[in-house]
């Protein structure tokens, strides 16, 4: 959450999210995949981190997107970030090696029983400041 994992792309996206409240859809997918499968952190914690910082944070879209990456919706088909994909779609901004990432064969379906997860209270809605532009100038 401080952007100090040593995985250059991941740390950069963390800082970008904290500073701007935004990440491109691909970066969200890669971030969630690395969080879950490479760093082996709980997906709920990652979803909570996104939800607190995304200007477009949305309980349904965010939660279900994290669950999709984890393979909990499309069971047996997790979304796995690869070095090649990140290098291609970041236009070589991040050149990583395949062994920077987890070798994923299965999603998290075995860790979660069938049925709905417990319902937790949502945080209060934080409306974006219309007087302040989100900026990517520092990247
Ligand atoms: C892990 C993860 C968490 C996410 N959390 C949120 C969230 O909290 N709130 C949220 O609104 N979206 C979320 N998304 C979906 C998506 O990343 C954003 O909707 C999109 O990046 C918004 O960018 P944009 O407004 O520039 O739209 P563009 O990329 O220009 O797309 C145009 C419109 O299409 C819709 N859209 C694009 N990609 C998606 C997608 N994958 N799923 C659903 N709608 C999409 C958006 O409504 C957007 O307004 C998440 C995706 C992932 C992988």
- Is the residue at 62 inside a domain? yes
- Is the residue at 123 inside a domain? no
Q: Is 12 in the pocket of ligand 1 (CB under 6 A)?
A: no
- Is the residue at 14 inside a domain? yes
Return the CATH number at 30.
Answer: 1.10.579.10
- Is the residue at 35 inside a domain? yes
The alpha carbon torsion through 4, 8, 13, 18 (nearest 10 deg) reads: 30
Buried b (16+ CB within 10 A) or exposed e, 109-138: beeeeeeeeeeeeeeeeeeeeeeeeeeeee
Enclosing domain of residue 90: 8-108
Count of domains for the chain: 1
Q: Is 17 in the pocket of ligand 1 (CB under 6 A)?
A: no
Query: Are 41 and 49 within 8 A, CB to CB?
Result: no
Q: Which tens digits make up the pLDDT trace of 20-42?
A: 999 999 999 999 999 999 999 99
Query: Are 37 and 101 within 8 A, CB to CB?
Result: yes
Q: Which tens digits make up the pLDDT trace of 81-136?
A: 999 999 999 888 888 777 677 778 788 887 877 666 677 888 888 777 888 776 65
Could you tell me the pTM of the whole model?
A: 0.82
């Amino acid at each position: 959450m401080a952007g100090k994992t040593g995985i250059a792309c991941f740390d950069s996206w963390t800082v970008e999210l904290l500073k701007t409240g935004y990440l491109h859809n691909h970066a969200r997918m890669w971030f969630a995949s690395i969080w879950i499968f490479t760093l082996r952190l709980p997906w709920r914690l990652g979803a909570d981190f996104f939800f607190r910082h995304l200007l477009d944070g949305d309980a349904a879209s965010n939660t279900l997107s994290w669950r999709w990456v984890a393979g909990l919706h499309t069971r047996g088909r997790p979304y796995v970030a690869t070095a090649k994909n990140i290098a291609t779609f970041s236009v070589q901004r991040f050149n990583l090696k395949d062994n920077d990432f987890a070798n994923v064969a299965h999603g998290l379906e075995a860790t979660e029983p069938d049925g709905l997860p417990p319902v937790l209270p949502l945080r209060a809605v934080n409306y974006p400041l219309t007087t302040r532009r989100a900026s990517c100038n520092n990247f």
